[in-house]
Amino acid sequence: MKIWLDGALRDIESARVSVLDHGLTVGDGIFETVKAVDGRPFALTRHLDRLTRSARGLGLPDPDLDEVRRACAAVLEANPVPLGRLRLTYTGGRGPLGSDRGEHGTTLVVALGGTTRRPDSTAVVTVPWTRNERGALTGLKTTSYAENVVALARAREHGATEALFANTVGQLCEGTGSNVFVVLDGEIHTPPLASGCLAGITRALVAEWTGAKETDLPLDVLRDADEIFLTSTLRDVQAVHRVDDRELSAAPGPVTAKAMRVFDERSAADIDP
């Protein structure tokens, strides 16, 4: 495997960052996961726009997007896979052991791993922990992911692939690595960004292409929704057939199935929508 690290491709054995890198010591970093199909990154411009927004929100210098694009192209060429997970990581670089940043510059890593298409439906659970819709990191895609690791482990313990959070006022928010949509009386709804959820790239495209509405939703909407589906870079659109102990028959339902078809068709027609 070839990995891009700070300006050049390196073998995995020689791709090393400092043990004092702020991304490791205090989680001072951001990242993007980009789907790559036959060596071509999907929606890369949108991902790079969000990478810049996350950097600014964290107080990091703007990433050099020309370098990031070169890095993506080089890694994809060096590691051919039919379907891949392209991971862009950008951190505060080497710094002190505390929260103050150092003066050694940022770290950029781009790596690629192979993946497979997700099943058409999955199971999810709700968890007792909340998203803070007013936090300093709200809406930023940061490497401070331990909360998601804990919640996803809970989901795995219950035979699910995703955990769903409410926010601090009891509204439906998001999953550990996905956005959530519900179908009510034939209409598609998803929590607004004000709920504290991440501005998912796939979420935005699905909303644009299906006319989904942003709606404040209570967490218990999951008990009553006609259909539920998730969106993310690697899930695309994925139906939910079980949430906690509730089984949703015939998932994907008709509205979700149409959303899946629309997304597949539109994303196949335009690699950088």
The 10s digit of each residue's pLDDT in 27-54 is 999 999 999 999 999 999 999 999 999 9
Model-level pTM? 0.95
Tokens standing for residue 51:
């990478």
What does the mean pLDDT of the chain come to?
A: 97
pLDDT in tens, 60-83: 999 999 999 999 999 999 999 999
State the average pLDDT over residues 116-145.
97
199: confidence class by pLDDT, cuts 50, 70, 90: very high
pLDDT score of 64: 97
Q: Which conformational region is residue 186 in: left (phi greater than 0), alpha (psi within -120 to 50 degrees), or beta?
A: left
In contact, 198 and 148? CB cutoff 8 Å: no
Collapsed DSSP state (helix, strand, coil) of residue 209: helix
Higher pLDDT, 12 or 168: 168
pLDDT in tens, 139-149: 999 999 999 99
pLDDT in tens, 75-121: 999 999 999 999 999 999 999 999 999 889 999 999 999 999 999 99
DSSP string, 57-123: HHTPPPP-HHHHHHHHHHHHHHS--SEEEEEEEEE--B--SSSS--SS--EEEEEEEE--PPPSEEE
d(CA 31, CA 140): 9
pLDDT score of 249: 85
DSSP string, 224-255: T-SEEEEEETTTEEEEEEEETTEE-TTSS-HH
Q: Which of 96, 91, 94 is nearest to 108 (CA)?
A: 91
| Least confident window among 24-28, 102-106, 130-134, 266-270 | 102-106
pLDDT score of 65: 98
State the average pLDDT over residues 184-212.
98
Tokens standing for residue 175:
């999953």
User: Kind of pairing, strands 121-131 and 162-167?
Assistant: parallel
166: confidence class by pLDDT, cuts 50, 70, 90: very high
